[in-house]
Structure 1
Amino acid sequence: MTYAKDDPRSALSQSSGGKPGGPVAAPEFLDFSVTLPDVTTGAGSRQWLVRGQNFVLIHTEPAPGDLIWSADLASEQVVLLIDENSALRGASGGETHAVTGPALVVIPPGSSEIVSTGSGPIVQLLQSDEDEWAKRASNADSYAEPHPHVAPLEPWPEPVGGYRWRTYRMADVPDQPGRFGRLFRTRAFMVNFFKPGHGPRDPHKLSPHFHDDFEQCSLVVAGTYIHHIQTPWGTDATTWRPEDHVRVGSPSVTIIPPPTVHTSQAIGSGANHLIDIFAGPRADFSAQLGWVLNADDYPAPRG
């Protein structure tokens, strides 16, 4: 891995360089800023549905007051309220909750509803074993066969105190030198809800690295980025792939397969905002003291 000395990730242990398992999957660049929505509700909310190996992502550009979700799930879902214009009224387990963003919300398994009470983006994260939703993803064909380099999802321990509605507001997270972003985890997800940046990233301080056996989903919610991705060469030259240096707008989702070498470069002159999503939680980030902000609610596996 290549990190600048002042990057908190420089303290992480090195990966082994990937695990065997057949051809490396191609990255996916799903730029909602240039593609039509998969769903447009009667009230005018626009929704894009995409998936990775272990997750489904629903990005909604809502009409205020619209019911954007009503369904029953076997597992928790994570909801991201992206900015101060994102707001919802949610119902689950006979209780009603109101939240204004930016925030991360965990909704317990079972029946739930979400009404957007604002105009800002709302992002939902579901497990891909919620088959009905995985089949609706616009890129479902990419996962007709499991990607062999991606480890299957093994949910972490149940939350302390059992399943319930949980709200984590970004305004409640103080700055802390040496911590990497604003990390939250559940049984199935880890989300790094970075703060928005301003202006381009210094091209002399990029961070190319790789992951052995998990995908990275990079969700761009403001600005413009270039995702630099390099697929390692194996012994079979017919599977070699050129480097990707793909410019994406916002909103967009880029799915980065293991063990590709990758880094993301903000290039917009104004606000640039990226959120990283992993399914399931990362053990290396979880091992860093103080990095996971809700570790007391969602414990790591023992041993």
Structure 2
Amino acid sequence: MYDKSDPRATLAAASKSTASTFAGADFGLFYEMQPQLSKSGERTWLTRGQNFLVAYTDAEAGAVLERVGQVDEYVLLVPDRETPVTVSANGQTETVEGYTLVIVPPGDSSINVEQGGRVVRIFSTASADLCALCSNVESYAEAHPNIPPFQAWPEPVGGYKIRAYSLDVPPEPGRFGRIFRCTTLMVNFLDPQMGPRDTTKLSPHHHDDFEQGSLSLDGSFTHHLRWPWTTDLSVWREDEHALCGSPSLTVIPPPAIHTSRGMDAGLNQLVDIFSPPRMDFSKQPNWVLNAADYPIPNQN
């Protein structure tokens, strides 16, 4: 259910859920947790979903974040303009200004946070070493229901390499946020919300078979969540109205009905994460800003 002004109102409606068991939402409140990694000029918090995980880092000047033998692509998000980074991978080195999304190829890579600041890395859960560190690792001792097995999307045009995309993209009527995808992830750096969200234009909706990560970078959000009723009272879940500050990650499982409401008087900045990429968003003309680099799967 979307307000008519919401670009998502043009999407086909999700089917009525036939799920009979449900997982709860997960919350990584980084601002009130101890970091899972604290070493060499970095403090990193990690929280996961079924198919993706987020590593949020406060880095000191000169900190280097390394991955050795990374099994697949990952996304580096540099949300602040004053945080340039140098990214190296597989013999390629790129100096990247802040306020940029970078896709980092598989293999060995390093990120030099030259002046310090906050950076976010988003991985698939194929990175078992990082999964083991996540604050909510026990929540995924068994696979969550209603999510099919992960399947990566096709390799990028021209092969794997460092690809940097500026987030300095103005809003455009009919386009929803600023969406980028790779073989493993779709990331939507939503248009900034200044002040509280209009409560007459919320967007309660559900997903049949994929989870959503909502990464709060600035401000605070109330995540409203409701699960379907079934014939079995024992699987019913209470509604949640979770107020989460920044930085934090909320993982919304299918088929929970959900909508998020920015709360603060100033900037409320949310980033949505999906793994693998969403086909419905990918089919919308001009929604995925780097679609030319990353083909969609063959649907024949």
| TM-score range relative to shorter protein | over 0.9
Distance between the aligned counterparts of 1:186 and 1:138, measured in 2?
25
Aligned counterpart in structure 1 of residue 185 of structure 2, from 185, 189, 206? 189
Q: Given the alignment of the two structures, is residue 268 of structure 1 paired with residue 264 of structure 2, yes or no?
A: yes
Q: Post-superposition shift, 1:56?
A: 1.9
Q: Per-residue deviation at 1:302?
A: 2.3
Aligned residues: CA RMSD: 1.2
Aligned to 1:60: 57
Distance 1:258 1:292 in 2: 23
Provide the C-alpha distance between the structure 2 equivalents of 1:170 and 1:55, rounded to a whole number of angstroms: 21
CA contact (8 A) 1:17 1:259 kept: no
Paired residue secondary structure (1:58): strand
Report how many residues are paired.
Answer: 299
Q: Which amino acid aligns with 1:32?
A: F
User: Where does residue 198 of structure 2 map in the other structure?
Assistant: 202
Residue 50 of structure 2: SS of its match in structure 1? coil
Tell me how far apart the structure 1 counterparts of residues 231 and 43 of structure 2 sit (CA, whole Å): 44
Instruction: Tell me how far apart the structure 1 counterparts of residues 275 and 121 of structure 2 sit (CA, whole Å).
Output: 13
**Residue 125 of structure 2 corresponds to residue 131 of structure 1:** no
For residue 40 of structure 1, give the secondary structure of its aligned residue in structure 2: strand
Q: Determine the structure 2 residue equivalent to 1:25.
A: 23
Q: How much does 1:19 deviate?
A: 4.5
- Map 1:68-87 to 2 at 5 A: 68-87=65-84
Q: Distance in 1 between matches of 2:99 and 2:18?
A: 37
Identical pairs, percent: 44
Please say which of residues 255-264 and 29-38 is displaced more in the overlay: 29-38
Give 1:37's aligned residue. Answer: 35
Summarize the Cα distance change of 1:95–1:292 in structure 2 as closer, same or farther, 3 Å threshold: same
Tell me the TM-score normalized by structure 2: 0.96
Gaps of 5+ in 2: none
3-state SS in 1 of match to 2:215: strand
**Which stretch of the first structure deviates more once superposed, 98-107 or 112-121?**
112-121
Q: Gaps (5+ residues) in structure 1?
A: none
CA distance in 1, matches of 2:205, 2:198: 17
Matched, 1:212 2:208: yes
What displacement does 1:85 show?
A: 2.7
Aligned match of 1:231 in 227, 231, 239?
Answer: 227
TM-score, normalised via structure 1 length: 0.95
Are the structure 2 counterparts of residues 86 and 23 from structure 1 closer, same or farther at C-alpha, using a change threshold of 3 Å? farther
The farther-off stretch of 152-161 and 217-226 is 152-161
1:224 CA displacement: 0.9
1:143 aligns to what? Answer: 140
- Does structure 2 retain, via aligned residues, the 8 Å contact 1:285–1:292? yes
| 1:210 partner letter | H
Structure 2 contact 44–58 (Cα < 8 Å) conserved: yes
